[in-house]
Every structure is written in structure tokens, then in C-alpha cells.
């Protein structure tokens, strides 16, 4: 397959911090990056060679953007699929099918279960009557979710008891009701797949969420997580193969008494892989660039015994700067304007250089 050589232009759909870190990795390998996003204040555009500001539904703008790119990727899985035909012959990696499945929670869960994965019990619904039936079928507690456009806890409502549904006004859009999963830990499997079908995995981090937003990732992930990683990786590789996927792919899991339970899929680089910038031999961002351009994949192994990544949520730059007093800390600020509740303003990765400390950080089995 032809290599897209350094000096070429990579188009990125979406202008957030994932695009920013991807653009920085691409520049290191000699590529130019062209950002396409509807927002004027793109933090990815700040570190890129070109920026097209236009709606994702604007086919003419997409066609003009594609004409200036050699390959296109995305940092955001809610890019509308239908207008992407305007990209024409310019390759989109990963492909549009991965986007279609990841954008619809029902399609995603049906896809995963067809491939042999286990998901939380769920029912689809369209109205309040459907919610009552779903609670009767699945039980409570549970979570009502929009089928589309939800992330970082958005588009989700907890239902702790059947009576809670009586006070809810269900939006007139396709929804999904999921039963709670009893789990011992949360973790993600992040892989990269090349154009030739080679697959490599990073170590799986144990993830902690607060209010539906990822707060902390710890690598190694601990004995509970490590015991369930092999089965989770087998499923993730089946997903990547079925989709003929190219690039970085993330699957999130719950570690339960009965094995890994699938939670969500993200067809892109992922927040739980930010630790790889300093902690892995090749970061998720560099390997994504390598994969979509047809270059050899880099080693995904740890370069240190361990790492802890924490998101800086609602933290101003002034509040974050004292972190630099810790010599083990690697601070990443995304250049966003206003710091507000629930907004990811940056992250910090602390490397664990002592193997004994890393082993203790794994926690109990």
C-alpha cells in the first residue's frame, strides 16, 4: 500500500485537544496538519498549518478541505457521516463504518455482542412508556442514555429506583436504558492497527471516573485489571479486524467477577491513553499518524515502570503551574480559554521510575 510520505498534509476533522496533540505528533514526523472544525476557537488549529472553519454538513467546504489533504482522520466521533462522501478519493482513516457504529449506542452494543463481547443489559426506547417497560425488563438501578451525541457524562440520567422514572420527562429521541454493572475496576484497551493489518496494544490503565468524566488513569492497571486484559484484547482485535480499522481504537471495559464487560468504543485516540506521550516508547498520537500514513508502527511498550495521568478539569493555567514543582510531572495545558466546571483544561502525567513503587501502585489483587 502506498505510503503518505512526510511533507504531505494530514486533515483532521475536529478542533479539540486530541487534534492538538495529534497535530504536534504529526509535525514531529514532518507532516503538515489542516484542521476542519465549526468552532472559531480551535486549540488544534493553534498548532497546525491550516484551518478551515465550516460546519460538518457543508459538503462544498469539506470538498475544498479534502483537496488540500493527502489523508483525513478525526479526533471526534460525532462527526456526521453522510457529508463525508464529499471527501471524494482522499482516504478517511479510520473509515466511516467505524464512525457509524460508535455514534449509535444501540448499534455499538449489537455489534459488540455479535462479535462475542458482553455488554451491560440494555433496552431501546423512544418515550416514557418505553422507559417503564425497559426498567421492568432490565431492573433498577440503571442509566438512561441518549443513543447519540453523549460523552463525558452528557446525555445520561441515573435511575436508582423504578419510581424515579415517574418524575422524568424523556426526550422525544431514540434512547437506551442500561442496567448497572457491578464492577471492581474500569479499564480501557487501546490498540493501533496498520494498513497491513498489524495490531499492537498499549498497557491497559485502571481508570477512575468522577461525575461521568475520566479523572485518573494508572499504569500498570493492577492485578484485577491485568487478569481481564487478555479477553478484552481479543474482543478489541476482533472489532478492529471486522471494521478493517486503521489507526488507534479504544474500547472501555468494566472488570467484573464474570470477566470484562464492554462499556463504550471510541474510534480515535483516547483520554485514557494520554499517559503514553511520556510513558510509552511510542505515544498513541504518533502511532495513529504512523498508521494512517502507512508507516511502520512504533513500539507500544512502557518506557518506565509506571505512570499516573490526571485530568485537570475546570483548572485554570495559574492553578496548574505549581504542578511543575514536582520533577516527575509532565504538564499539558490545552490552551482553552475559560475554565469551567466539567471542562478538560489539560492533564498531568507523573512517571513512576521505581519498579517497587509501580508494583505498590497496582493495588490489591
| Among candidate residues 179, 209, 227, the one where a domain is terminated | 179
Are residues 167 and 211 both part of a single domain? no
Range of the domain at 14: 9-92
Q: Determine, yes or no, domain membership for 98.
A: no
Q: Report in angstroms the alpha-carbon separations of 281 from 180, 206, 305, 313, 355.
A: 37, 19, 12, 27, 17
Residues 6+ apart with CB under 8 A from 112: 119, 235, 239, 262, 265
* 4: in domain: no
CA distances from 203 to 21, 266, 299, 348, 359 (A): 20, 17, 11, 18, 14
Asked, for residue 105, whether it belongs to a domain, the answer is no
- Judge whether 115 lies within some domain: no
Last residue of a domain, one of 162, 179, 196: 179
Same domain, 223 and 175: no
Same domain, 156 and 198: no
Q: How far is residue 67 from each of residues 10, 62, 79, 89, 143, measured CA to CA in Å?
A: 11, 9, 19, 9, 43
Under DSSP, is residue 280 helix (H, G, I), strand (E, B) or coil? Answer: strand
Question: pLDDT by residue for the chain (365 residues), tens digit each?
Answer: 689 999 999 999 999 999 999 999 999 999 999 999 999 999 999 999 999 999 999 999 999 999 999 999 999 999 999 999 999 999 999 999 999 999 999 999 999 999 999 998 888 887 766 788 888 888 788 888 888 876 655 677 788 777 766 666 666 778 888 888 899 999 999 999 999 999 999 999 999 999 889 999 999 999 999 999 999 999 999 999 999 999 999 999 999 999 999 999 999 999 999 999 999 999 999 999 999 999 999 999 999 999 999 999 999 999 999 999 999 899 999 999 999 999 999 999 999 988 765 665 554 43
Burial class (CB in 10 A: 0-12, 13-18, 19+), 338: exposed
What is the pTM assigned to this prediction? 0.92
CATH of the domain at 298: 3.30.470.20
Query: DSSP strand E in 230-277: where?
Result: 247-256, 259-266
The domain spanning residue 34 has which CATH number? 3.40.50.20
Is residue 108 situated within a structural domain?
A: no
Q: How many domains does the chain have?
A: 3
**What is the per-residue DSSP string for 324-338?**
GGSTTEEEEE---S-
Amino acid at each position: 500500500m502506498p505510503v503518505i510520505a512526510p511533507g504531505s498534509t494530514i486533515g483532521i476533522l475536529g478542533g479539540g485537544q486530541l487534534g492538538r496533540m495529534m497535530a504536534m505528533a504529526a509535525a514531529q514526523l514532518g507532516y503538515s496538519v489542516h484542521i476542519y472544525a465549526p468552532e472559531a476557537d480551535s486549540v488544534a488549529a493553534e498548532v497546525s498549518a491550516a484551518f478551515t472553519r465550516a460546519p460538518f454538513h457543508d459538503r462544498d467546504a469539506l470538498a475544498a478541505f479534502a483537496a488540500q489533504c493527502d489523508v483525513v482522520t478525526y479526533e471526534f466521533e460525532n462527526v456526521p457521516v453522510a457529508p463525508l462522501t464529499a471527501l471524494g478519493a482522499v482516504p478517511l482513516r479510520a473509515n466511516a463504518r467505524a464512525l457509524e457504529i460508535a455514534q449509535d449506542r444501540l448499534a455499538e452494543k449489537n455489534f459488540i455482542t455479535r462479535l462475542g463481547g458482553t455488554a451491560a443489559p440494555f433496552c431501546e426506547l423512544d418515550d416514557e412508556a418505553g422507559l417503564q417497560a425497559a426498567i421492568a425488563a432490565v431492573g433498577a438501578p440503571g442509566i438512561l442514555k441518549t443513543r447519540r451525541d453523549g460523552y463525558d457524562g452528557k446525555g445520561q440520567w441515573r435511575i436508582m429506583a423504578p419510581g424515579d422514572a415517574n418524575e422524568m420527562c424523556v426526550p422525544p429521541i431514540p434512547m437506551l436504558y442500561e442496567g448497572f454493572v457491578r464492577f471492581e475496576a474500569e479499564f480501557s484497551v487501546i490498540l493501533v492497527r496498520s494498513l497491513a493489518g498489524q495490531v499492537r496494544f498499549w498497557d491497559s490503565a485502571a481508570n477512575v471516573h468522577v461525575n461521568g468524566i475520566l479523572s485518573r488513569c494508572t499504569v500498570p492497571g493492577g492485578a484485577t485489571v491485568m487478569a481481564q486484559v487478555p479477553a478484552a484484547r481479543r474482543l478489541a482485535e476482533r472489532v478492529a479486524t471486522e471494521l478493517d480499522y486503521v489507526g488507534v481504537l479504544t474500547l472501555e471495559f468494566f472488570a467484573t467477577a464474570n470477566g470484562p464487560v464492554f462499556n463504550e468504543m471510541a474510534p480515535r485516540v483516547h483520554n485514557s491513553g494520554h499517559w503514553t506521550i511520556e510513558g510509552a516508547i511510542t505515544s498513541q498520537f504518533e502511532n495513529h499518524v504512523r498508521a494512517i500514513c502507512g508507516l511502520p508502527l512504533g513500539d507500544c511498550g512502557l518506557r518506565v515502570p509506571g505512570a499516573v495521568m490526571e485530568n485537570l478539569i475546570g483548572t485554570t493555567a495559574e492553578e496548574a503551574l505549581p504542578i511543575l514543582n514536582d520533577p516527575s510531572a509532565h504538564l499539558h495545558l490545552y490552551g482553552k480559554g475559560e475554565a469551567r466546571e466539567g471542562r478538560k483544561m489539560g492533564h498531568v502525567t507523573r512517571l513512576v521510575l521505581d519498579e517497587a513503587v509501580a508494583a505498590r501502585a497496582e493495588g490489591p489483587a
